[in-house]
């Protein structure tokens, strides 16, 4: 049986980092997948600001699970050299924050239905990011996302096979549903052996985000399979997306936006509901 541990994108609770800590404590969550801090994207923090964040977490017995970076979330026509410099900076931030994990993407491509014309360039850029990260002893974790090379199962498989253990797999059910990919058993069956950890958000048939278990993502079924077949700890990062939150627009490319509707009166209520939904699924599993 697997052990499940919760993390969360705490910037969806509040942009204020002190409030994020309050949200973690009140929901019994030890880890943050850190993305937005006091109005800044994590990649924009100075190392001194990162040290302040680390101290605040340490003082409260909390920790960073992964750096929710925007690395690999640019077009193939953008400046890759500038992006490699950013990669090194994010790696330094991860080292300061005490986590080896960095969430990354596989670059926006013009047409995700035919990846062949972009494969060589994408793999070149991903290889350069990987090379830049090696001196920092970090783990680059690829998230499936609409509009990027690794949008669908086939693209993610390409990446996993090309780079071996160089890139780990984050499995995001809602992002697959929004890309018209069935999560279970289809995507899960092909990617199961590569899954390092999961992002927990669900998605309805109309492409709007839903609490875990309330959409088409088959999250209970996937967790049940992982529980049967694994004996290690599987981290589940709650990514609510149940309310439009500050900084969302900066995270997405035009034409590849996430369908989010304000389903709760406040960001705090949305965050609490998302955490409660996954906790209920785990409780129903006897976890």
Omega of the bond leading into 215 within 30 degrees of 0 (cis): no
Total structural domains in the chain? 1
pLDDT band at 262 (very low <50, low <70, confident <90, very high): confident
Q: Domain residues for 215?
A: 3-284
Of all residues in the chain, what percent carry a pLDDT higher than 90?
A: 92
- pLDDT grade, residue 243 (50/70/90)? confident
Cβ neighbours, 10 Å, residue 33:
27
Count each helix (H run) and each strand (E run) in the chain, helices first.
10, 12
Cβ atoms < 10 Å from Cβ of 243: 22
The CATH number linked to 26 is 3.20.20.150
Bridge partner residues of 6 (DSSP): 236
**CB of 215 closer than 8 Å to CB of 177:** yes
**Is it the case that residue 247 has pLDDT exceeding 80?**
no
Q: What per-residue confidence (pLDDT) applies to 280?
A: 98
């Amino acid at each position: 049986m697997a052990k499940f541990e919760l993390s969360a994108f705490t910037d969806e609770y509040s942009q204020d980092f002190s409030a994020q800590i309050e949200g973690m404590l009140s929901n019994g969550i030890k880890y943050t997948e850190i993305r937005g801090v006091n109005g800044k994207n994590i990649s924009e923090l100075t190392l001194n600001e990162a040290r302040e964040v680390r101290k605040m977490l340490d003082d409260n017995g909390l920790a960073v699970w992964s750096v929710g970076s925007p690395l690999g979330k640019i077009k193939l026509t953008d400046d890759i050299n500038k992006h490699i410099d950013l990669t090194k900076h994010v790696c330094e931030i991860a080292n300061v924050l005490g986590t080896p994990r960095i969430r990354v993407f596989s670059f926006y491509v013009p047409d995700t239905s035919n990846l062949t014309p972009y494969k060589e360039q994408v793999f070149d850029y991903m290889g350069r990011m990987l090379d830049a990260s090696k001196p920092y002893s970090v783990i680059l974790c690829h998230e499936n996302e609409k509009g990027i090379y690794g949008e669908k199962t086939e693209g993610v498989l390409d990446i996993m096979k090309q780079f071996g253990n160089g890139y780990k797999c984050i499995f995001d059910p809602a992002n697959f549903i929004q890309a018209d990919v069935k999560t279970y058993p289809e995507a899960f069956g092909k990617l199961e052996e590569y899954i390092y950890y999961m992002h927990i958000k669900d998605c309805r048939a109309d492409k709007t985000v839903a609490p875990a278990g309330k959409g088409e993502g088959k999250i209970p079924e996937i967790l049940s399979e992982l529980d049967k077949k694994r004996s290690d700890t599987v981290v589940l990062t709650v990514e609510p997306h149940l309310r439009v939150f500050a900084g969302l627009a900066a995270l997405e490319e035009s034409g590849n936006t996430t369908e989010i509707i304000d389903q709760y009166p406040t960001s705090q209520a949305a965050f609490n509901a998302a955490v409660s939904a996954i906790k209920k699924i785990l409780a129903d599993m006897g976890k």
